Amino acid sequence: MAQRSHSDRRELIREHAFSAAGLTAAIALVATIVLFFVQLFVTSRASRTAFGLSFLWRSEWNPVTEQFAALPMVVGTLATGFGALLISTPFALGIAIFLADYAGKKVAEPIKYLIGLLGGLPSVIFGLWGLFVLVPLVSKFEVWFGNLVGSEALVASGTTGVGLLAAILLLAIMILPFSSSLILESLLVVPAELKEGALALGATKWDTIQSIELPYVRKSTVGALVLSLGRALGETMAVTMVIGNGMKMPRTLFDPGNTLASAIANQFLEATSPLYVASLIELALILFVIAIIINIAARVILRRGVQQ
Amino acid sequence: MKNHGRLPLIAATLLMIGLALSGCSSSSQAPAVTNLSGAGATFPYPLYSKMFDTYNGVTGVRVNYNSIGSGGGIKALTDKTVDFGASDAFLTDEEEAAMGAPVLHIPTCVGSVVLSYNLDGNPALKLDGTVVANIFLGKITRWNDASITALNPGLSLPNLAITVVHRSDGSGTTSIFTSYLSAVSAEWKSSVGAGKSVSWPAGVGGKGNDGVAGMISQAKGSIGYIELVYAVQSNMPFASLMNASGKFVVPSLSSSGAAAAVASDLPDDLRVNIVNSPGADAYPISSFTWILVYKEQDYAGRTLGQAQALKNLLTWVLTDGQAINAGLSYARLPEPAVTKALALVGSMTYDGTAIP
Amino acid sequence: MTRRTFKNNVMGLLVAASAGLLIAVLAVILWHIFISGIRYLNWDFFTKAPAPMGESGGGVFNAIVGTFLITFVAAAIGTPFGIFAGIYVSEHRGQRFADIVRLCADALQGVPSIVIGIFGYTFLVVRFRSYSALSASIALAFMFVPTTARVTEEVLNLVPSGLKEAAYALGARPSSVVWNVSIKTAASGITSGLMTSMARVAGETAPLLFTAFGSRYIEWNMLRPMSALPLQIYIYASSPYPALQQQAWSAAFVLVLLILLLQYGAKHLIARVLRVKA
């Protein structure tokens, strides 16, 4: 009898320990987000006191005079993010449709595998490839384009190849596996009866895709694209290596620029004055808030898309 | 089957124990400190890299140096995350006040900043202060500009856009270069000024001496400023500059030494600027580079062993280590500078008393 | 041919072309890494620390050691949190707090790596008063936990509810049902999820910039600065020395191999072992 209650108690303790561990881990996950926000918020206080909200819309970043503002980086981030999305979306849709509706299993499986492979390559490797392969090509293009339009506009930014354009192209490649596999996922849940019904009525394959499938996955595609945008906005190393680190407001796509992430990567270790450091941390705070909002929004859209 | 679910957990626990043990063992071997870490200037990085490698061979002490820029060195020392910082620009009184404690400037070598460029056929370019300032101000935009061709009568320069490459990070090299430009151009001084990072009127940014050199080597028609040794080691061409006494000087070991030799009455704290030096053979963009340490070494839980290891390293750099300078195109420190620097190292204290 | 069938054919070609383009891009990237990487590989590359700046020779053994140590310690720290959080969400499916936890895991997965680096510096490095591999591992663990939690949850959700119900009917407590039924059924899925998370974390650079910081020496002490392959690639790629740029390609080759090994090799191996034992 004593034996029995002893093992009972042990089991009870284990039971409690187990649910406590689960709860602790769950709470830790939520707390992490809060902790990140609080830490970034507290350590960037000097910058907020000095510049207030004007940090967001002024455009001077000058460490000598200690004037800091985020607009050039916000513009750089949005330009590269949306630029990359614009270029890669048609291809992402094409790939997803090809895999969902055209390719047989023997073709689709290896391609999916390759998409996973491309998506798994580290950012720094894209950066390396971008710097030594893509940037020289962009530079050639800049020279050619400069001669075509009479050049002077390009003189200021030079023809080094580094700049917003190189970053956009590289990002477009980097988010392609991500967006195409997300779109593919939603295409695969389109009920087969819907498609078969349309085909039986004499619609061509493309008719079916255009009038049945695409409307069906509209919401989840938007969610997938928003999620890809979030990824592009926060991408750091590859962009840092090809964007040219200009701190001025970019005027053309050939100008060197900076994203929020690349400005931090380039300058954080060198920033000496407390205000400089705090301003960089405020950039991180802006990036963090944007990333959280975009991710949550995308998940909500995706979930609605699935429920529908 | 039963154990598989636990496998990751067991592995995790073992790793954590291993981690704790490795942490313990490192703190228990207190007195003989064999690891020092420093960070900062990229300007003397090739020299430090070789010096510390040699020092490791001689003494077994491992000095880990990361070239993250002078600004980074100052920041790392301020945050007390390294044993020493390194900078090509001495701290201003303001910066030193921000450090919270007195900092010693130990010069290690004399180096030059050169203007390197990428043009077909690597012509030997001659420039003067005004032209350089105007290029970096964005006022001269093509290689065949009259003011450049006037200085280079023998060369046929292409009708090619000039791409200015500058540092994107906080840098002592930038500080040296911009104080030179401020010394030779009133317009530069009033509109941009001198500093570790400035608001550049033109051009693209590269990170570190190496980043700038890398960018120059990739882009036709570019010009940028880098430490002499980077240009020499990566076979990049560099311009001769007209100095304060009106002579074109090719940057070299002896021409930077000539600049330092002129500074005969060095201040005791060795914070001194030698750009645009009046010497007849002096290359105008030359500078000391410094290692920065706290005078009082008993801070942030540091041990006497660490302080001793640091003191030994600095003494070696100023004496035996100087032999390495020449092999890498950095001028040796002039004798008076070494004497004063050793006196500074001797003044380091631990808990108020001299370090044995 | 009617307009509709014409359009059908054209669009079919277009979507196939986009897939072809993807393959071409991937092939070009891998080809560059392979060709440029393998050309400069030699024995020293795997066994030696870097030579002093400007001298030839040397290798990246310091970075290989660093990548292994930093990644494994990050996994060791992150695994318990990730798995238990995943179990929690899966067990409390439909409850409000579990939904919040899942949303937080999703959001954390989207936090840019550079932000995690800044957090690591201001929260850990400044506090430790030293750059260290351990602070890098902790920073990476913040990336490791949410991915692991989501994978664990997804895999657990696939466990047939019949199995669990049977166990409950036999009077088992929730903890032993999860432990003895769910986790065991899902073991191979969870392990492969762990491997994928590790592969992802092993390639990260941004969180290491301000934490691990880099070291020229072969370092085993987690409390000191340490190098890692991604960090070394970044530093070498932006150097002006052709010899170092070549080493960047070789290091990239090694890193890609390592990641493929973690992501696919280990996954298949473990899956096979588990299947055989079962």
CA distances to A103, C14, C16 from A206, rounded to whole Å, are: 14, 11, 13
From chain A, pick out residues whose CB is under 8 angstroms from the CB of B78.
272
Q: Which two tokens stand for residue C210?
A: 């301000």
Strand, helix or coil for residue A191: coil
pLDDT at C166: 86
pLDDT at A75: 95
pLDDT at B127: 94
The closest alpha carbon to A125, from B245, C165, B121, C233, belongs to C233
* Contact state of C15 with A94 under an 8 Å Cβ cutoff: yes
ipTM of predicted complex: 0.93
pLDDT bin (cut points 50, 70, 90) of residue C228 is very high
The closest alpha carbon to B164, from B148, B182, B140, B145, belongs to B140
pLDDT at A158: 60
pLDDT at B6: 46
pLDDT at C114: 96
**Residue contacts between A and C (CB atoms, under 8 Å):** 261
Gap between the Cα atoms of A282 and A39, Å rounded: 11
Cα A79 to the center of its chain, rounded Å = 13
What homologous superfamily is domain A44-307 in, according to CATH?
Answer: MetI-like (1.10.3720.10)
Q: Is the pLDDT score of C150 beyond 60?
A: yes
Q: What are phi and psi of B239, to 5 degrees?
A: -85, 150
Establish if A211 touches chain C: CB-CB under 8 angstroms. Answer: no
The DSSP string of B109-122 is EEEEEEEEE--TT-
* Contact state of C83 with B12 under an 8 Å Cβ cutoff: no
CB C208 within 8 A of CB C117: yes
* Contact state of A123 with C256 under an 8 Å Cβ cutoff: no
**Residue contacts between A and B (CB atoms, under 8 Å):** 109
> Tell me: the pLDDT tens digits for C173-211?
777 888 778 888 888 888 888 998 999 999 999 999 999
What's the fold here for domain B122-261?
A: D-Maltodextrin-Binding Protein; domain 2 (3.40.190)
From chain C, pick out residues whose CB is under 8 angstroms from the CB of A231.
110
Domain assignments of chain A as residue spans, ordered by start: 44-307
Give the one of A29, A261, A281 whose C-beta lies nearest to C145's C-beta: A29
Gap between the Cα atoms of B29 and C266, Å rounded: 38
Work out the percent of chain A whose per-residue pLDDT is above 90. 56
* Contact state of A267 with B195 under an 8 Å Cβ cutoff: no
* Contact state of A269 with B69 under an 8 Å Cβ cutoff: yes
Gap between the Cα atoms of A5 and C81, Å rounded: 32
Among chain C residues, CA nearest to A292: C107
Q: What are phi and psi of C123, to 5 degrees?
A: -90, -35
What's the fold here for domain C45-277?
A: MetI-like fold (1.10.3720)
In tens digits, chain B (356 residues) has pLDDT values of 334 444 444 554 555 555 444 444 444 334 578 899 999 987 788 899 999 999 999 999 999 998 887 888 988 998 899 999 999 888 888 778 888 899 999 999 988 899 999 998 889 999 999 999 999 999 998 999 999 999 999 888 998 889 899 887 667 788 899 999 999 999 999 998 888 778 888 888 777 777 788 788 777 889 999 988 778 877 889 999 999 888 999 988 777 777 777 656 788 888 888 888 888 888 999 888 999 999 999 998 889 999 999 999 999 999 999 999 888 878 888 888 899 999 999 999 999 999 98
Establish if B8 touches chain C: CB-CB under 8 angstroms. Answer: yes
Give the one of B2, B50, B62 whose C-beta lies nearest to C217's C-beta: B62
Q: What are phi and psi of B104, to 5 degrees?
A: -95, 140
From chain C, pick out residues whose CB is under 8 angstroms from the CB of A22.
84-85, 87-88, 91
pLDDT at C276: 57
> What DSSP designation does C170 have?
T
> Tell me: the pLDDT tens digits for C47-85?
999 988 767 788 999 999 999 999 999 999 999 999 999
Gap between the Cα atoms of A264 and C114, Å rounded: 7
CB C109 within 8 A of CB A285: no
Q: What is the mean pLDDT of chain B?
A: 84
pLDDT at A10: 81
The closest alpha carbon to B88, from B337, B292, B258, belongs to B292
Pick from B173, B181, B218, B292 the residue to mutate for testing the A interface (most A CBs within 10 Å). B218
SS percent in chain B: helix, strand, coil, step 5: 40, 20, 40
Flag whether the pTM goes above 0.90: no
pLDDT at B201: 87
* Contact state of A30 with C230 under an 8 Å Cβ cutoff: no
* Contact state of C239 with B210 under an 8 Å Cβ cutoff: yes
Give the one of C83, C89, C103 whose C-beta lies nearest to A296's C-beta: C103
Interface of B with C in 81-100 (CB under 8 A): 81-82
pLDDT beneath 50, residues of chain A: 1-2
The number of C-alpha atoms within 13 Å of C182 and in the hemisphere containing its C-beta is: 27
Domain assignments of chain C as residue spans, ordered by start: 3-39, 45-277
Gap between the Cα atoms of A63 and A72, Å rounded: 15
The closest alpha carbon to A161, from B68, B133, B214, belongs to B214
Q: Is the pLDDT score of C249 beyond 60?
A: yes
CA distance to partner chain C, nearest, from residue B23 (Å): 7
Gap between the Cα atoms of B275 and B297, Å rounded: 32
* Contact state of C220 with B23 under an 8 Å Cβ cutoff: no
Domain assignments of chain B as residue spans, ordered by start: 33-111+286-354, 122-261
As a CATH number, domain B33-111+286-354 is 3.40.190.10
**Residues whose CB falls within 8 Å of the CB of residue B253, separated by 6 or more in sequence, listed in order:** B326, B329, B330, B331
The closest alpha carbon to B246, from B213, B215, B280, belongs to B280
DSSP H helices in A189-248: 192-200, 205-208, 214-216, 218-234, 237-242
Interface of C with A in 72-131 (CB under 8 A): 80-85, 87-89, 91, 97-98, 100-101, 103-115, 117-119, 121-123
Establish if B164 touches chain A: CB-CB under 8 angstroms. Answer: yes
